[in-house]
């Protein structure tokens, strides 16, 4: 028998570490070559790690949420005989890459660690000394039907005179009821039936709870949720956001959408999103600063010719952004089909790495939940994100054709845009949205060159 230390393999160019998302084996399990061991997540994708050998798992590197560096121990597997040379070589390569990528600690960092360790040790000594000298606390005193906490007065406080079991007291406390106000049915002791009677006759006093009390719940932030948190924090920390919102009349656009859907045949049903994407793509050549990415470390803004449009999609695991490649080259029906395919792939976890990266501009929409207006967070390193909001019906003044006006029920929607103020000026963002408004309110223009 021999022990084989399986190190974290190279999982992508420029990737130095990966987060453990889910283990599929545990210590003591027997594994075979190519068996799925663990899911890990990098900045770019979630990756399945498979076993290079047959054997028995002796040790695993941490639990879900822990980060493992490339070249660091991932598992220890007990194997029979010798480990194949190619497996050992792959392990050694991962070790060499990790050693090259890891910077040597600075002298002041070493000194700081020594100081922290010394401080922790002295704190531990202080804690031990305090424990030795801490006085012994008196035990709780239990009386008939009630418990008096240590140090509490046993004098004439009103609530201490009421006889009730701890269960009744807890229920009354959760309901916000003063036991002194409850009249006991017999022998001066308040029972659950007395509380029920009090609630029945005194419910008008607001004693009925709004909801049952629930225990606190702690959830470890791991996987996609952790990645979302990191990306949002980086975006807000590094990008000076500004938002602009405009109201748009989509009555005619909705009417055109209904007409197109009524004659679509076997084509996918059109939603508002393909129409919005078409309008955006028509305007990008005149507003190239909107369809750009900013490498702030290199100080370079790249204005992209193609529109690789990110589509913010809510999944059970959190927000994902699948990418519609070359959106400017697709018609309405092609966009609708691609939107449906990518959204389904994101939700069922089958989306590929290349389908979840490389966007140049993002659209985010909550549909009927879109609210009056939104201030979406930019998908860094992009410089803009556009958010159509909820459609509402409202009476509006419209021309009556005779030089006057009449009141008519219209469908209205606000369009929000958030921009990186280092790259996009407020005037440019406002001009872009005003041009988008004209296109949306004259939808026939969407179907022309």
Q: Which CATH architecture has domain 223-447?
A: 2-Layer Sandwich (3.30)
Q: Which of 175-179, 279-283, 399-403 has the lowest mean pLDDT?
A: 175-179
What is the location of CATH 2.40.50.100 in the chain?
2-101
**Cβ-based neighbour number of residue 216 at 10 Å:** 4
Beta strands in 296-443 (DSSP E): 300-303, 309-311, 313-315, 318-320, 323-324, 361-363, 384-399, 405-420
213, pLDDT greater than 90: no
Residues 393/375, Cβ–Cβ less than 8 Å: no
Residues 294/422, Cβ–Cβ less than 8 Å: yes
d(CA 17, CA 90): 17
Q: Of the residues 48, 425, 428, 449, which is catalytic? A: 425
**Residue 209 pLDDT grade (very low, low, confident, very high; cuts 50, 70, 90):** low
What proportions of the chain, in percent to the nearest 5, are helix, strand and coil?
A: 35, 25, 35
**Residue 11 pLDDT grade (very low, low, confident, very high; cuts 50, 70, 90):** confident
Element (H, E) at 168: helix 166-175
**High-pLDDT (> 90) share of the chain, %:** 45
pLDDT of residue 187: 81
Q: Which of 119, 93, 84 is nearest to 9 (CA)?
A: 93
Arithmetic mean of pLDDT, 54-82: 87
421, pLDDT greater than 80: yes
What is the location of CATH 3.30.559.10 in the chain?
223-447
215 counts as catalytic: no
d(CA 342, CA 355): 8
pLDDT of residue 97: 59
CA distances from 348 to 20, 156, 315, 359, 371 (A): 20, 64, 8, 21, 27
Instruction: Enter the tokens of residue 3.
Output: 């022990």
pLDDT of residue 110: 44
421 counts as catalytic: yes
Q: Model's pTM, two decimal places?
A: 0.64
pLDDT digits (tens, 9 = 90+) for 92-151: 766 665 555 554 454 544 444 444 444 444 444 444 444 444 444 444 444 444 444 443
User: How many Cα atoms sit within 13 Å of 216 on the Cβ side?
Assistant: 1
Q: Of the residues 187, 421, 428, 449, which is catalytic? A: 421
Q: Which of 20, 35, 29 is nearest to 76 (CA)?
A: 29
d(CA 244, CA 235): 18
> If DSSP codes are grouped into helix, strand and coil, which group holds residue 48?
strand
d(CA 332, CA 272): 10
pLDDT of residue 250: 96
Arithmetic mean of pLDDT, 217-232: 85
Fold type of domain 2-101: OB fold (Dihydrolipoamide Acetyltransferase, E2P) (2.40.50)
Backbone φ and ψ for 19, nearest 5 degrees, come out as: -95, 135
Arithmetic mean of pLDDT, 12-22: 81
Q: Which residues contact 241 (CB under 8 A, 6 or more apart)?
A: 375, 377, 378, 418, 419, 420, 421
Domain 162-213, CATH: 4.10.320.10
Residues 72/61, Cβ–Cβ less than 8 Å: yes
Residues 388/400, Cβ–Cβ less than 8 Å: no
168, pLDDT greater than 90: no
pLDDT digits (tens, 9 = 90+) for 284-325: 999 999 999 999 999 999 999 999 999 999 888 788 999 999
What is the location of CATH 4.10.320.10 in the chain?
162-213
Averaging pLDDT over each range in 86-90, 196-200, 281-285, 369-373, which range is the top one?
281-285
């Amino acid at each position: 028998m021999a022990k084989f230390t399986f190190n974290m393999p190279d999982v992508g160019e420029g990737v130095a570490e990966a987060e453990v998302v889910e283990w599929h084996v545990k210590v003591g399990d027997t594994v075979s070559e190519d068996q799925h061991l663990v899911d890990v997540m990098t900045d770019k994708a979630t990756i399945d790690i498979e076993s290079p050998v047959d054997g028995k798992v002796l040790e695993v590197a941490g639990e879900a949420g822990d980060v493992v560096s490339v070249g660091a121990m991932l598992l220890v597997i007990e194997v029979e005989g010798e480990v194949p040379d190619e497996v050992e070589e792959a392990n050694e390569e991962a070790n060499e890459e990790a050693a090259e990528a890891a910077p040597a600690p600075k002298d002041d960092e070493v000194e700081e660690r020594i100081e922290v360790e010394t401080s922790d040790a002295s704190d531990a000594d202080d804690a031990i000394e305090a424990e030795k000298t801490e006085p012994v606390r008196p035990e709780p005193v239990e009386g008939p039907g009630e418990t008096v906490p240590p140090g509490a007065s046993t004098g004439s406080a009103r609530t201490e005179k009421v006889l009730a079991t701890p269960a009744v007291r807890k229920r009354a406390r959760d309901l916000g009821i003063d036991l002194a106000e409850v009249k006991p049915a017999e022998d001066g002791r308040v029972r659950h039936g007395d509380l029920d009677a009090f609630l029945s006759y005194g419910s008008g006093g607001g004693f009925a709870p709004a909801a049952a009390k629930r225990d606190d719940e702690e959830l470890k932030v791991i996987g996609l949720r952790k990645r979302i948190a990191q990306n949002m924090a980086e975006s807000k920390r590094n990008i000076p956001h500004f938002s602009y919102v405009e109201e748009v009349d989509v009555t005619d656009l909705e009417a055109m959408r209904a007409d197109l859907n009524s004659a679509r045949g076997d084509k996918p049903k059109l939603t508002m999103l393909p129409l919005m994407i078409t309008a955006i793509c028509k305007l990008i050549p005149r507003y190239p600063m909107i369809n750009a990415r900013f490498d702030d470390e290199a100080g370079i803004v790249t204005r992209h010719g193609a529109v690789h449009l990110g589509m913010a999609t809510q999944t059970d695991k959190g927000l994902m952004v699948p990418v519609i490649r070359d959106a400017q080259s697709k018609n309405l029906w092609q966009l609708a089909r691609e939107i449906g395919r990518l959204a389904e792939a994101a939700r069922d976890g089958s989306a590929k790495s290349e389908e979840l990266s490389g966007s140049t501009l993002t659209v985010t929409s909550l549909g009927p939940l879109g609210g009056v207006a939104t201030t979406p967070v930019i998908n860094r390193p992009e410089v803009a994100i556009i958010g159509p909001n909820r459609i509402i019906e409202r009476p509006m003044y419209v021309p009556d054709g005779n030089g006057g006006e009449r009141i008519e029920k219209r469908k209205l929607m606000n369009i929000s845009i958030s921009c990186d103020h280092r790259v996009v000026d407020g005037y440019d963002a406002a001009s872009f949205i005003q041009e988008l408004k004209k296109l949306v309110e004259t939808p026939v223009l969407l179907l022309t060159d």
